[in-house]
Amino acid sequence: MSNIQKEVKKIQSVYLQNLERLNQGLKHENKSWKPKEGEFAVQAEMEKQRPASAAGQVANSSANRISRDLTCSICLDLFKQPVSLPCDHTFCQGCIEGYWTGPRGPGQGGTGACPQCRKMYPGQCYRPNRIVANIVESYCHGLGEGGSCLVDAGGAERVTAPVPSCSRHREELKLYCEEDQELVCLVCGVSQEHRNHTMVCVQEAEQKYRGFLNSSMDSLKAELNTALECDREAEDEVKKLKEHTADLKQRIEAQFSDLHQFLYQEEKLLQVKLKTEERRELIRLDEHKALLCVEISRLQRAVHEIEDKLREQDPFTLLREPLARIGVYLDYKRGLVSFYNAESMTHLYTFRETFTETLYPYFNLGFLDKVHENEPLKVFLPKI
Interval 278-303: pLDDT, tens: 999 999 898 888 888 888 988 998 89
- Structural contact between residues 379 and 373, judged by C-beta atoms closer than 8 angstroms: no
Q: Which residues are 200's β-sheet partners?
A: 176
Q: Would you state the pLDDT for residue 119?
A: 82
Where residue 259 falls among pLDDT bands split at 50, 70, 90? very high
* Residue among 73, 106, 105, 77 nearest 91 (CA): 73
Q: In which residue ranges of the chain is CATH 3.30.40.10 found?
A: 3-165
Query: Strand, coil or helix: what is 336?
Result: strand
Q: Would you state the pLDDT for residue 75?
A: 87
Cα dihedral sign for 346, 352, 356, 359?
negative
Q: What is the mean pLDDT of residues 240-263?
A: 94
Q: What is the mean pLDDT of residues 67-76?
A: 82
Distance CA 239, CA 243 (A): 6
Amino acid at 61: S
Distance CA 381, CA 286 (A): 29
pLDDT of residue 364 exceeding 50: yes
For the chain, the helix, strand and coil percentages under 3-state DSSP, each to the nearest 5: 50, 15, 35
Q: Which of 47-51, 78-82, 247-251 has the lowest mean pLDDT?
A: 47-51
Q: What is the mean pLDDT of residues 45-60?
A: 43
Q: What is the mean pLDDT of residues 335-357?
A: 83
HSE, CB side, 13 Å, CA atoms: give it for residue 48.
Answer: 8
Distance CA 187, CA 170 (A): 10
Gap between the terminal Cα atoms of the chain = 178
pLDDT of residue 232 exceeding 60: yes
DSSP state of 164: P
Q: What is the pLDDT of residues 120-156, one digit of tens each?
A: 877 667 888 887 887 788 777 665 544 343 333 333 3
Q: Which of 29-38, 79-88, 243-252, 317-326 has the lowest mean pLDDT?
A: 29-38
Distance CA 33, CA 36 (A): 9
* CATH of region 3-165: 3.30.40.10
Q: Which residues are 113's β-sheet partners?
A: 120
- Structural contact between residues 148 and 170, judged by C-beta atoms closer than 8 angstroms: no
Q: What is the pLDDT of residues 91-112, one digit of tens each?
A: 898 888 888 887 666 555 556 7
- Structural contact between residues 185 and 171, judged by C-beta atoms closer than 8 angstroms: yes
Neighbours of 71 (CB within 10 A): 19
Where residue 360 falls among pLDDT bands split at 50, 70, 90? confident
Percent of the chain with pLDDT over 90: 17
- Structural contact between residues 347 and 340, judged by C-beta atoms closer than 8 angstroms: yes
- Structural contact between residues 318 and 309, judged by C-beta atoms closer than 8 angstroms: yes
Neighbours of 18 (CB within 10 A): 20
Give 360: exposed, middle or buried? Use CB within 10 Å, 0-12, 13-18, 19+: exposed
Percent of the chain with pLDDT over 70: 65
Give 60: exposed, middle or buried? Use CB within 10 Å, 0-12, 13-18, 19+: middle
Q: Would you state the pLDDT for residue 181?
A: 87
Contacts (Cβ under 8 Å, ≥6 apart) of 369: none
DSSP state of 372: S
Neighbours of 176 (CB within 10 A): 22
What H or E segment, with its residue span, contains residue 158?
strand 158-159
- Structural contact between residues 164 and 185, judged by C-beta atoms closer than 8 angstroms: no
